Structure 1
Amino acid sequence: MASRPIDARGWIFEVRDAEATTETWLPIGLLTSWNRNESENEETADTTTNDSEGYYSQDVMQRGAIIEVEGLYAQVTSGTPDPGQAYIDNEWAYRLGADSQNEIRWRHKTQSVWVIWDATVTPGEQSGGTNDKTSWGATFTRCGKPRTAPVAGGGTT
């Protein structure tokens, strides 16, 4: 069977509730776009020498990555905010120092493995005009090496 592209809307992003007594992941709802950049914060060392005969050479000394998510500021009909957005805005965004790191995980709905990052978060801007919905966003900066974990139940959603 030929390879098929996957839908961008099928990606799932969740943050870990570090205050919960049991492992609790909170979905980030109402996303409209996302961007993952695996070369953000990359650092290289120039290894070009006279022996390189005029050709550039380098070694990667540091790997980095970010995920930016954007969406609509969410409140469900009961007036309760989206759990992932609320956790980011009210808990994670105010942490400093070693406490500023938390976990984010992501995968496509067709995949049976999560990618998990230790990360810091930078809240995005919120805005809107007269006939707009209020925007919401966040940027997650990976800290350390990524890891993976199987989806509970082993299936896809």
Structure 2
Amino acid sequence: MAATQYNARDCVFQIENPASPGTWVDIGAGRDGIMTFSVGRKTESTDMTDFASGGQEESQVMQRGKTLKLEGKRLKDVATGVLDAGQQLVETLADQVGDASWGRVRFASPGDTTYAVWTATAEMGEEGGGNNDKVSWSVTFTRSGAATTLPRP
């Protein structure tokens, strides 16, 4: 089959429950709370220019990193006050420091046979809304180390 476009809404994002390793929880109730996502890439290079460079810049990439940003709506049971399980795990991770600030997230696109798995830190974005809005929610995960994979059922 030829490569074709696919729907962003069909991508899956999950966080591992640290209290139950190997248990993955949908972030935003299985996409209900996620409206956009973006994967960012960053590099850090070192300057290698010297007198023999003839006035031309020379550099070498020394480090590569990635981020995953999820944006959408905050999901809460207004009768009980209980937040969406995945969003709650994300917010708890975002409050941690030191070794506890690392958690695992995984995500996949339609047709993927594996999940991309990251050990990552989480930083919450702003939350809010106006008179006629639903409350917004966002997080940026910053990968720590290389990505791994897990089979996708």
On whether the aligned pair clears a TM of 0.5, the verdict is yes
Aligned counterpart, 2:83? 81
Q: Does 1:149 align with 2:113?
A: no
Shift of 1:58: 0.9
5 Å-filtered alignment, 1:13-52, equals 13-20=13-20, 22-29=21-28, 30-39=33-42, 42-52=43-53
CA distance, structure 2, for counterparts of residue 119 and residue 147 of structure 1:
12
Q: Does 1:109 align with 2:119?
A: no
Shift of 1:54: 2.8
Q: Is the 8 A contact 2:104 2:118 kept in 1?
A: yes
Q: Is the 8 A contact 2:46 2:61 kept in 1?
A: yes
CA distance, structure 2, for counterparts of residue 24 and residue 55 of structure 1:
52
Cα distance, 1:78–1:112 mapped onto 2, change above 3 Å: farther
What is the root-mean-square deviation of aligned Cα atoms in Å?
1.7
CA distance, structure 1, for counterparts of residue 117 and residue 76 of structure 2:
26
Shift of 1:4: 1.0
Q: Is the 8 A contact 2:77 2:83 kept in 1?
A: yes
SS in 2 for 1:45: strand
The aligned amino acid for 2:17 is D
Aligned counterpart, 2:7? 7
Shift of 1:50: 2.8
Long gaps (5+) in structure 1: none
Long gaps (5+) in structure 2: none
Q: Deviations over 1:72-126 (max 9, x none)?
A: 011258644221101112x212211111101011111321111011100001111
CA distance, structure 2, for counterparts of residue 64 and residue 73 of structure 1:
28
Q: Deviations over 1:19-76 (max 9, x none)?
A: 12x511111121000111121xx21101122323332221111111111110101125
TM-score of the superposed pair, with normalisation by structure 1: 0.86
SS in 2 for 1:85: helix
Aligned counterpart, 2:141? 140
Q: Is the 8 A contact 2:6 2:110 kept in 1?
A: no
CA distance, structure 2, for counterparts of residue 109 and residue 24 of structure 1:
21
Give identity over the alignment, percent: 32
CA distance, structure 2, for counterparts of residue 2 and residue 92 of structure 1:
40
SS in 1 for 2:123: strand
